[in-house]
Chains A and B, each alone.
Chain A
Amino acid sequence: MAKMNMLHAINSALDISMAEHPQACIFGEDVGYFGGVFRATSGLQEKYGKHRVFNTPLTEQGILGFANGLAAFGAPALAEIQFADYIFPAFDQIVNESAKFRYRSGNEFNVGNLTIRTPYGGGIAGGLYHSQSPEAYFAHTPGLKLVVPRNPYQAKGLLRACIKDDNPVIFFEPKRLYRASVGEVPEEDYTIEIGTAEVVKEGSDITVLAWGAQMEIIEQAAVKAEEAGISCEIIDLRSILPWDADTLIKSVTKTGRLVISHEAPITNGFGAEIAATIQKECFLHLESPIERVCGLDTPYPLALEKEYVPDALKVFEAIKKSVEF
């Protein structure tokens, strides 16, 4: 074990993956000698050569098109999109191509070797285009997997699982936590299963669910709720697609209440999918309406970021409202 921040953990997962396959490549904007604008790929070009860790021209659709081709060839393609806000030029390559490659060809071809890493989320004064959480856009696309870690241990284990997974995966990295989140991480290789949620803390009165950077927020809210005498069961979804409905159904069946929180805007956010499913599966167990504490239906603002975000106080109020319903 070693103390690592999230960037170190990601770097370690990439390092192992590059050593594992002689044709694995890391590419994106500024990921080469410089090691990425967040330094996630630091030192890797020196270790594996310029032909395997390299800067691309500034073209997101090109990065993903190239990645699809390389993955179809059979080499692990570890593509980086500098900010999740800039993944949209590659939307066509991801949604129409990566996601449908295997299905449309009858499994003659696939891009299972593709992993897209991208920093997402707000809280860093990033304004409209350095703060977005676009996971729900991709959650509507069969063929993709979507994964979001909340700490360095998860970041390494889940990223390794994404790279080994035989399907295209988008790995959303909570950039607010890149350096802020530090923890013990095994130096050796390990994976955390994709598609399973984690019950972070057991409780009996209400289930509180989030993923990624928002986990820290709901944990703060839960502390306040516990002080008010409310026992919270805290769940980290970890995978958006496929998502672990069973763990959540089991929890809500027990607690009878659910609060979902995410940074992205509320309308058509992934919380809506979860709420609809839980409403159907746990109808007879629910004792109050499912609450969603999310971003507003506005672009992500700069000056009023603090007002915009679904912070711990807003989550705490939703917990109270649910319990007092």
Chain B
Amino acid sequence: MTNPNNISLNISHALEFIDGHALNIPTLKILSEQGEILDGATSPELDKETALKIYSTMRFIRLLDERMQAAQRQGRISFYMQCLGEEAAITASAAALKQDDMIMAQYREQAALHYRGFTLEQFMNQLFSNEKDLGKGRQMPVHYGSNELHYLTISSPLGTQIPQATGYAYGQKLKHIDKESGELNSEIDNVTICYFGEGAASEGDFHAGLNMAAVHKAPVIFFARNNGYAISTPADEQFKGDGIAARGVGYGIKTIRVDGADTLAVYEATKKAREIAVTTGEPVLIESIAYRLGAHSTSDDPSGYRTKDEEAEFKNNCPVARFKAWLLKQNWLDEKEDEAIKDKIREEILAALKVAEKVQKPALEELVSDVYDTPIPALQKQYEELKEHIKQYPDAYPITAGRIK
């Protein structure tokens, strides 16, 4: 890396093109489908407490998804998106971070939020967009966020969080840079992890975010969830290169590919990635391969674009079952007890659902607050006019009419 173009000088006199698939990136797998540590794999440094917390998070999210998918079908909430098949990728990566590292997600990462401590009630309040929702009922269901838990509020536009993660991580690094030398003067306290799907990685913001992270040395872990589909578009209509991982190398970013249904592989890879980020200040790319077992969302029916046979094939590769098998072999989990807990959680979810759907919607003032730090005069005027209108026709606006001061 000595010439002004920042390229390696390796002169050749033979005309030869590098093959587009010359890299051939391997996939890290530690745990077999039967829950055994594979030959040649290193046993993880995962303590019992963390392992059980990961498992209980995955179990909770699966049950929550199951119930809320049904709640959408019953018309009780307007929309839902499941994490099905990707619970291990999300939970284990979140578990490898510090509690106050920033998480910037796409939308299918509710497991990370629950791992951090987002409660059942908080999930329900957001899904029902009631007045207790931290987001004040403004966004569609599943667009969670929590400042306290360092989980940036989800937004629908795909990929936008990728360069934002670079900027946020750069901020996390700033106080650790020596002004004179420009080098790190201490280990970085906190990093940012940025989740996105393989479809979102086709957006321009992916290119912008990864390139800027490499050039400006931002301590961000890019976590690509390659689950084979972007709604109906299979990955082979998304790109022709070797997945997302091959691109990381092109940007000069340390990269690894993991089996996303393998809790141990994801945990180990993310833990190592964090270590690289805090000590070097540089970004890392993890590509996780895990099949999207469910539909894209409640507005989607995958039978229109993929076969039952294909789905059945991947059903057997369940990340939750695989990790559970390992826990059972460790004697860290009791199967009977586990089933009993599941029944209890199902009841809790149903009870919380019934409570949240009765909590009233946000007050009218939340329609205009937070557009700015304080409402601008034109908006204040519109608000006063709207209040007068609702007072005139209270029956047409039952949610707010009774509560206008």
Binding site for B on A (CB under 8 A): 22-23, 25, 48-52, 54, 56-57, 59, 61-62, 64-75, 77, 89, 92-93, 96-97, 100, 102-110, 112, 142-143, 145, 166-167, 195, 241-243, 245-246
**How many A-B contacts at CB < 8 Å in the complex?**
172
Docked Cα-Cα span, A22 to B175, in Å, equals 8
Closest B residue, CB atoms, query A99: B371
Docked Cα-Cα span, A241 to B371, in Å, equals 13
Q: Which of B88-122 contact A (CB under 8 A)?
A: 102, 104
List 27 A-B pairs, Cβ < 8 Å. A49-B177, A49-B180, A50-B182, A51-B182, A57-B212, A57-B215, A59-B204, A59-B207, A59-B212, A62-B166, A64-B163, A65-B162, A65-B209, A66-B167, A66-B208, A68-B167, A75-B174, A93-B160, A100-B155, A103-B370, A104-B139, A106-B134, A106-B145, A106-B366, A142-B371, A243-B378, A245-B377
User: B270 on the interface (CB 8 Å rule)?
Assistant: no
CB-defined contacts of A242 to chain B, threshold 8 Å:
376-378
Question: A112 to B166, Cβ gap below 8 A?
Answer: no
Question: B376 to A195, Cβ gap below 8 A?
Answer: yes
Docked Cα-Cα span, A48 to B177, in Å, equals 12
Question: A66 to B163, Cβ gap below 8 A?
Answer: yes
Contacting B208 at CB < 8 Å: which of A62, A104, A195?
A: A62
CB-defined contacts of A51 to chain B, threshold 8 Å:
174, 177, 179, 182
Q: Which of B142-188 contact A (CB under 8 A)?
A: 143, 145-147, 152-153, 155, 157, 160, 162-172, 174-175, 177, 179-180, 182
Contacting B135 at CB < 8 Å: which of A54, A64, A105, A167?
A: A105
Question: A108 to B160, Cβ gap below 8 A?
Answer: no
Question: B166 to A65, Cβ gap below 8 A?
Answer: yes
Known A61-B205, A104-B138; judge A74-B372 contact (CB<8 A).
no
Question: B216 to A54, Cβ gap below 8 A?
Answer: yes
CB distance from A126 to the nearest CB of B (A): 25
Closest B residue, CB atoms, query A168: B372
CB distance from B372 to the nearest CB of A (A): 5
Question: A56 to B212, Cβ gap below 8 A?
Answer: yes
CB distance from A59 to the nearest CB of B (A): 4
Question: B135 to A142, Cβ gap below 8 A?
Answer: no
CB distance from B202 to the nearest CB of A (A): 14
User: B268 on the interface (CB 8 Å rule)?
Assistant: no
Known A66-B212, A92-B157, A167-B373; judge A108-B134 contact (CB<8 A).
yes
Known A59-B207, A166-B373, A195-B376; judge A97-B215 contact (CB<8 A).
no
CB-defined contacts of B204 to chain A, threshold 8 Å:
59, 61, 89
CB distance from B4 to the nearest CB of A (A): 15
Question: A70 to B171, Cβ gap below 8 A?
Answer: yes
